[in-house]
Amino acid sequence: MARVTVLGSGAWGTALARLALTNGNQVQIWSRRGPSDLATAVADADIVVSAISMKGVAALAGQLQAANLKSSTILVTATKGLDPETTRTPSKIFRDTFPDNPIVVLSGPNLSKEIEAQLPAATVVASTDVDALTRVQQVYASETFRIYTSPDPVGAELGGTLKNVVAIAVGVCDGLKLGSNAKAALITRAIPEMLRVGVHMGAQIETFYGLSGLGDLLATCDGTLSRNYRVGYGLAHGKKLDQILDELGSTAEGVNTTHVLIDMANREGIPVPIARQVHRLLRGVITPQEAVEGLMERELKPEACDLNARN
């Protein structure tokens, strides 16, 4: 049994709290608009699970620091995004703020509605701290939630982060009714793009072929349960981005991730053709049809990809 505090009472925070509770752990949820004070909520926790939107992670890390988080507390991050100011992943933000705490990433094909319905699923917990990995694995492993471990936290969270951009593109593809061939081509060609960014940011290649990479890419590109997919689908039907996000009423991280990714790709010269079309589409400078044409009209090239290619 562990004392677990989950930060964030959105769809994913609630599901992660319920999973830990069902396994017999002592669980409390903190949220920014809730009644409890952060310092009190984390004071006795063995494990703090952060499941808030990316836009709040850097500030939350600062608040936790002010709350004097114990250095023995395991910090688990379940957010899938990149910091707009620094391009850091959540685990990097926590690592920079809490150099002595064990940091664990939890990421995989985990659409919260299916998890809440107790459908079988698997995920990855990733850390360089083996004891912390075992502890978090024990807290979450159950008959319906299978937990694999990985030594590559950055790779695990980048898979979950970058696939959100692809899910927007696939939503467009389905919204325009481009067919199964186009969808298969898009998802497959997205993999070298994700790998190129991942390798640049220090991830291990094999992580992207596991649950937190390919697994999450497939789950999120499968259809209507994914909010990022629904962003693309809505754009393909001529809706404005603001309207789509209002209707969703919850976080679609791929929108912010696309902007951060394109800033980074421009600075570092990383070729990301799919993300670039998504970026133009989100900014409203091209139509969904023009985004497709932009991809199809690119120069012809071999399929094999150079992961260190630069523009």
Ligand X SMILES: NC(=O)C1=CN([C@@H]2O[C@H](COP(=O)(O)OP(=O)(O)OC[C@H]3O[C@@H](n4cnc5c(N)ncnc54)[C@H](O)[C@@H]3O)[C@@H](O)[C@H]2O)C=CC1
Residues identified as active-site: 163
216 contact, one of ligand 13P, ligand X, none, CB 5-8 Å limit per kind: ligand 13P
Give the nearest distance from C-beta 216 to ligand 13P in angstroms.
5
Binding characters for ligand X, 224-263, by CB under 6 A (x = yes): --------------------------xx-x----------
Residues 229-258 binding ligand 13P (CB under 6 A) are 253
User: Of the candidates 95, 227, 276, 279, which one interacts with ligand 13P according to CB under 6 A?
Assistant: 227
Please answer whether residues 265 and 198 qualify as being in contact, where contact means their C-beta atoms are separated by less than 8 angstroms.
no
Residue 174 touching ligand 13P (CB under 6 A) = no
Among 177, 154, 163, 160, CA closest to 278: 163
User: Of the candidates 58, 80, 83, 153, which one interacts with ligand X according to CB under 6 A?
Assistant: 80
228 contact, one of ligand X, ligand 13P, none, CB 5-8 Å limit per kind: ligand 13P
Distance CA 298, CA 29 (A): 48
Residue 280, judged by CB atoms within 10 A of its CB (0-12, 13-18, 19+), counts as: middle
Residues 9-28 binding ligand X (CB under 6 A) are 9-13
Strand partners, 6: 29, 49
Please answer whether residues 150 and 125 qualify as being in contact, where contact means their C-beta atoms are separated by less than 8 angstroms.
yes
Residues 6+ away with beta carbon under 8 Å from 187: 166, 170, 217, 218, 221
Give the nearest distance from C-beta 178 to ligand 13P in angstroms.
20
Among 121, 160, 157, CA closest to 140: 121
Q: Which helix (DSSP H) or strand (DSSP E) does residue 76 occupy?
A: strand 74-77
Q: What's 6's DSSP letter?
A: E
56 contact, one of ligand 13P, ligand X, none, CB 5-8 Å limit per kind: ligand X
Annotated binding site for NADPH: 12, 32-33, 80, 112, 227, 253
Give the nearest distance from C-beta 245 to ligand 13P in angstroms.
12
Residue 84 touching ligand X (CB under 6 A) = no
Please answer whether residues 74 and 47 qualify as being in contact, where contact means their C-beta atoms are separated by less than 8 angstroms.
yes
Please answer whether residues 82 and 260 qualify as being in contact, where contact means their C-beta atoms are separated by less than 8 angstroms.
yes
Annotated binding site for substrate: 80, 227-228
User: Of the candidates 16, 162, 167, 217, which one interacts with ligand 13P according to CB under 6 A?
Assistant: 167
Amino acid identity, position 9: S
The encoded tokens of residue 92 equal 């990097």
Distance CA 133, CA 94 (A): 16
Among 223, 221, 226, 243, CA closest to 234: 243
Please answer whether residues 167 and 218 qualify as being in contact, where contact means their C-beta atoms are separated by less than 8 angstroms.
no
Stretch that binds ligand 13P, among 147-155, 177-185, 199-207, 212-220 (CB under 6 A): 212-220
Stretch that binds ligand 13P, among 86-94, 105-113, 130-138, 173-181 (CB under 6 A): 105-113
Residue 294 touching ligand X (CB under 6 A) = no
What residues make contact with ligand X under the rule CB under 6 A? 8-13, 31-32, 51-56, 59-60, 78-81, 110-112, 250-251, 253
What residues make contact with ligand 13P under the rule CB under 6 A? 80, 109-111, 160, 164, 167, 216, 219-220, 226-228, 253
